């Protein structure tokens, strides 16, 4: 890889990181707040302080995975797997407003199931392009799997009035 190509690749990586970190900005106005504090939660609910660092690491891994796929021919060649990536990213972005903003844990649970399916589809698509990119998404799938079970538990512990 020559100097110019490395420079362009670094800029594209920065672009994937920026794009990926736009997802949580959609839910930035939907913080847990009093509503969430007042909900019944399972005993295994993680401490709030854990979520920020975990999601930061996951978003970085996700962005690097997308960049690695992009490096295998760019958008033109990798349109399909990168489109799946963007779809799952959009689903990721909208879970927070559904759950924390609009207080709809049941709808948020349905949406997180769609997100989980979209991540699996993205993993499969990435596996056909580059194995390391696939493995970079595995922690994300594991965390969303855990989050789906937690979402379901909270929903069931707090039936609608």
Assign domain 3-157 to its CATH architecture: Up-down Bundle (1.20)
Residue among 154, 59, 143, 63 nearest 105 (CA): 154
Residue 57 is predicted with a pLDDT of 98
Q: What is the pTM (predicted TM-score) of this model?
A: 0.92
- Predicted confidence (pLDDT) per residue in 25-41, tens digit: 988 778 888 999 999 99
Q: In 27-101, where does DSSP find H-type helix?
A: 33-37, 48-70, 74-96
Residue 9 is predicted with a pLDDT of 86
What is the average per-residue pLDDT within 12-21? 96
Could you tell me the two tokens for 46? 């993680």
Task: Find out whether 92 and 23 touch, Cβ atoms under 8 Å.
Answer: yes
Confidence bin at 160 (pLDDT 50/70/90):
confident
SS3 28: coil
Residue 26 is predicted with a pLDDT of 85
Residue among 11, 10, 23 nearest 96 (CA): 23
Q: Which residue has the tokens 């595995």?
A: 138
Q: Where in the chain are the domains?
A: 3-157
């Amino acid at each position: 890889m020559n100097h110019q190509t490395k420079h362009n690749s670094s800029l594209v990586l920065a672009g994937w990181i920026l794009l990926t970190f736009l997802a949580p900005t959609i839910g930035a106005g939907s913080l847990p707040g009093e509503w969430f504090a007042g909900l019944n939660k399972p005993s295994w609910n993680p401490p709030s302080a854990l979520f920020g660092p975990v999601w930061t690491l996951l978003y970085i891994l996700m962005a690097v995975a997308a960049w690695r796929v992009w490096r295998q021919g760019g958008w033109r060649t990798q349109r399909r797997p990168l489109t799946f990536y963007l779809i799952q990213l959009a689903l990721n972005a909208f879970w927070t407003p559904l759950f924390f903003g609009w207080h709809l844990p049941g709808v948020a649970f349905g949406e997180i199931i769609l997100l989980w399916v979209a991540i699996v589809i993205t993993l499969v698509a990435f596996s056909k392009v580059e194995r390391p990119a696939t493995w970079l998404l595995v922690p994300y799938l594991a965390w969303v799997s855990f989050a789906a079970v937690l979402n379901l538990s909270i929903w069931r512990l707090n039936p609608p009035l």
